[in-house]
Amino acid sequence: VYSTWQLAKKYLQYYLHASNGQGHGMHSPFVFDFILRVLNNGNGYQAPPEIEALRQSLLSDPERLPMLDLGAGSRKGGAREKSVSLLARTAVKPRRYGQLLYRLARHYRPAGIIELGTSLGITTAYLATANEGARVTTIEGNGAIAARAGKHFEALGLKNIESICGNFDELLPRVLQEGRRVDLAYVDGNHRYEPTVRYFEQLLARADAGTIMVFDDIHWSEEMEKAWEVIKEHPSVRYSIDIFFLGFVFFRDEFKVKQHFTIRF
């Protein structure tokens, strides 16, 4: 895992070398549309404010939850318990990225969404409210955290989420075998090389040209950078977009040669 200093240096490199994020000179209509409408919110999509209100209340919630050692964990190492407020501050995707995923789901209207790593359910809620016709399957290995997320879905009145508790290693193949659609997959947990590439391959077996996959923290560690390299170089990936804290891959066949974009967000 990279230190804060190494990560900051990497972020700076990304920021200086990335395309400016306005879409100028972009030859792919699909990527141009993605930059304009999803990254830059050209359509003015407004996420429901209740989700940020929930995050605010969690930020001062002292309840302590037991931690399990399931994946790569956090950069700050393994505590046996963490407060909800600490999780809300450190494990949950910040508003800017939650709302970006909201716009992604609102714009492309994926019918079947799979999230690996529910945590407190904030990003799940963004995905589920973006398209109420979608079915969101979210997997979390820590039962205490999953139970907390379930309460949040209830409080927000979200009915299109199926929350399952268990290890991705077991549950992802099972869920995919049951024939769930994979129109959008968000992989945000167990940030290590081998499992990340394995989840990608398992999801890929059920993907089609319209599928979108999003990987979290692709520059978090050497292992994750290696996994991201393998994923974006996979022959079935036609486009990839790197915005540093998230990586998007697309399978649509717009061009013969694959394209990779690093875009400032």
Ligand X SMILES: C[S@@+](CC[C@H](N)C(=O)[O-])C[C@H]1O[C@@H](n2cnc3c(N)ncnc32)[C@H](O)[C@@H]1O
Burial class (CB in 10 A: 0-12, 13-18, 19+), 210: middle
Question: Which 183-202 positions form the footprint of ligand X (CB under 6 A)?
Answer: 188-190
Q: Which is nearer to ligand X, 36 or 171 (CB)?
A: 171
Q: Which is nearer to ligand X, 97 or 250 (CB)?
A: 97
Beta partners for residue 140, in sequence order: 165
Site size for ligand X (CB under 6 A):
21
Q: Tell which one of 14, 34, 168, 228 touches ligand X (CB under 6 A).
A: 168
Query: Can you tell me the distance from the alpha carbon of 74 to that of 53, in angstroms, rounded to the nearest whole number?
Result: 25
Residues in the chain: 265
Q: Which is nearer to ligand X, 28 or 190 (CB)?
A: 190
Question: Which 101-160 positions form the footprint of ligand X (CB under 6 A)?
Answer: 117, 119-120, 122-123, 139-142, 145
Residue 209 DSSP SS3? coil
Instruction: By CB under 6 A, tell whether 99 contacts ligand X.
Output: no
Q: Which is nearer to ligand X, 172 or 263 (CB)?
A: 172
The string of DSSP codes covering 54-66 is HHHHHTT---EEE
Q: Do residues 14 and 219 make contact, with C-beta atoms less than 8 angstroms apart?
A: yes
CB of 113 to ligand X, least distance (A): 12
Q: Which is nearer to ligand X, 119 or 211 (CB)?
A: 119
Q: Do residues 248 and 228 make contact, with C-beta atoms less than 8 angstroms apart?
A: no
- The residues of the shown chain that bind ligand X, judged by CB under 6 A, are 70-71, 91-93, 117, 119-120, 122-123, 139-142, 145, 167-169, 188-190
